[in-house]
Structure 1
Amino acid sequence: MPKFLIERDIPDAGQLTPEQLLAISSSSCRTLRGMDPEVQWITSFVTADKIYCIYIAPDEEVIRRNAFEGGFPANTITLIQNTIAPA
């Protein structure tokens, strides 16, 4: 199953409170429950003005639908070709 990096432009994302981040997370999880069961949200990274997410999904369209239904952006969706690590 393909793995994707999603870039979400969210101004002041780094200033979001734990409660606000939980609300975003809950919205995404609710939306994912009604979608293809193979879609998985792996992790997210919060920066000053963006949130970067790693998803496993059959295609970009599923990710776009999740973003639309969840009410958050998916400004750039990039297919991850490979991974490397220190080990």
Structure 2
Amino acid sequence: MKRFIIEREIPGASELTEAQLAEIAVTSNAAVASLGVPYHWVTSYVAGDKIYCVHEAEDADTIIEHARRGGFPADLVAEVAYEFGPHTAELVLQ
């Protein structure tokens, strides 16, 4: 599966309560289960008026269908080309 970053514009997102986020998770999990294809919600981050999600699926159309079924915005869906972090610097040292 491919990994995608999804940007969701949700005014007041950073003010959502833990209970509200839990309800969103329930809705998302139900949308995932209804797809009938391989799909994995990795994690999400709340920052300001946006929620950034990391999901894995075969294609962007499946990501968009998940958003439609869950009633979530999907303002940007971008396939991750590469992941790196501090450990990547070790490649130079080899």
Name the SS for the 1:34 alignment partner.
helix
- Provide the C-alpha distance between the structure 2 equivalents of 1:18 and 1:10, rounded to a whole number of angstroms: 16
Q: CA deviation at 1:85?
A: 1.1
Structure 1: where are the runs of 5+ without partners? none
Provide the TM-score with structure 2 as the length reference: 0.89
Q: How many residues align?
A: 87
Q: CA deviation at 1:11?
A: 0.5
| Aligned residue number for residue 72 of structure 2 | 72
Aligned-pair identity in percent equals: 38
- Which structure carries more helix by proportion? 2
Equivalent position of 1:57 in the other structure:
57
Higher Cα Rg, which structure: 2
Q: How does 1:10-29 map to 2 (within 5 A)?
A: 10-29=10-29
TM-score where L is the length of structure 1: 0.96
- 1:40 positional shift: 0.3
* Segments of 4+ moved more than 2 angstroms: none
> Could you say what the CA RMSD is over the residues aligned between the two structures, in angstroms?
0.8
